[in-house]
């Protein structure tokens, strides 16, 4: 599936139609990739987020990209890992599906994802990567209109985890 590319780097620098933010339910900013995206986008992003009324876990909402290279930010809220018996897998899968659906609806053709829930929310990385790639591949098989999906891993270790899944596919 050459529409999916694993890259190691900083998602705020991706020149794509939309980057996906691993946000919290309030959508009012935080640390990790959320903090990096808000810092790079500038204060206008938070001003727009304040108007969105938050976001449920597993769902996604879209804003402008402001000072980012990306024209849009799709904010999604991943599940907090709590052992795996609280629908975490299902909610994480929903983050990818909801974000891709929103990109399609807005006719955005290139999108970059971080490793949603793999930081502060402590989702096991290998398990999360498998869910991410499986959901992205399924979506790209069922819908047309997305040209490229980047999985942007902040560090090489995470990039290796993603790549190991792609080899297995």
Give the footprint of ligand APR on this chain (CB under 6 A): 10-12, 22-24, 30-36, 78, 114-121, 152, 154, 158
Identify each DSSP E strand in 28-122 by its residue range. 60-64, 72-77, 110-113
Catalytic residue among 10, 34, 89, 155: 34
Residues in a beta bridge with 64: 72
- The nearest distance, CB 141 to ligand APR, in angstroms, is 26
Residue the block writes with tokens 């024209």: 71
* Residue 34 is a catalytic residue: yes
Which of 122, 116, 13 has its CA nearest to residue 67?
13
Buried b (16+ CB within 10 A) or exposed e, 14-23: bebbbbbbbb
Whether residue 145 contacts residue 107, with contact meaning beta carbons closer than 8 Å, is answered with yes
As a whole number of angstroms, the distance between CA 58 and CA 35 comes to 19
- The nearest distance, CB 40 to ligand APR, in angstroms, is 8
As a whole number of angstroms, the distance between CA 52 and CA 110 comes to 23
As a whole number of angstroms, the distance between CA 15 and CA 32 comes to 20
- The nearest distance, CB 115 to ligand APR, in angstroms, is 4
Give CA 130 to chain center in angstroms. 14
Positions marked catalytic: 34
């Amino acid at each position: 599936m050459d529409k999916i590319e694993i890259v190691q780097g900083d998602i705020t620098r991706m020149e794509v139609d939309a980057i996906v933010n691993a946000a919290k339910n309030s959508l009012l900013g935080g640390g990790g990739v959320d903090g990096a995206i808000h810092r790079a986008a500038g204060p206008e992003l938070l001003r727009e987020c304040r108007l969105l009324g938050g976001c449920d876990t597993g769902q996604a909402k879209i804003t402008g990209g402001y000072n980012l290279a990306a024209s849009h930010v799709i904010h999604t809220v991943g599940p907090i890992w709590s052992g795996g018996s609280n629908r975490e897998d299902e909610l994480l899968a929903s983050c990818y599906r909801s974000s891709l659906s929103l990109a399609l609806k807005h006719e955005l053709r290139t999108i970059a994802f971080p490793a949603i829930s793999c930081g502060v929310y402590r989702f096991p990385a290998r398990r999360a990567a498998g869910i991410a790639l499986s959901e992205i591949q399924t979506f790209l098989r069922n819908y047309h209109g997305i040209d490229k999906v980047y999985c942007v891993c902040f560090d090489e270790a995470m990039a290796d985890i993603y790549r190991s899944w792609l080899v297995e596919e």
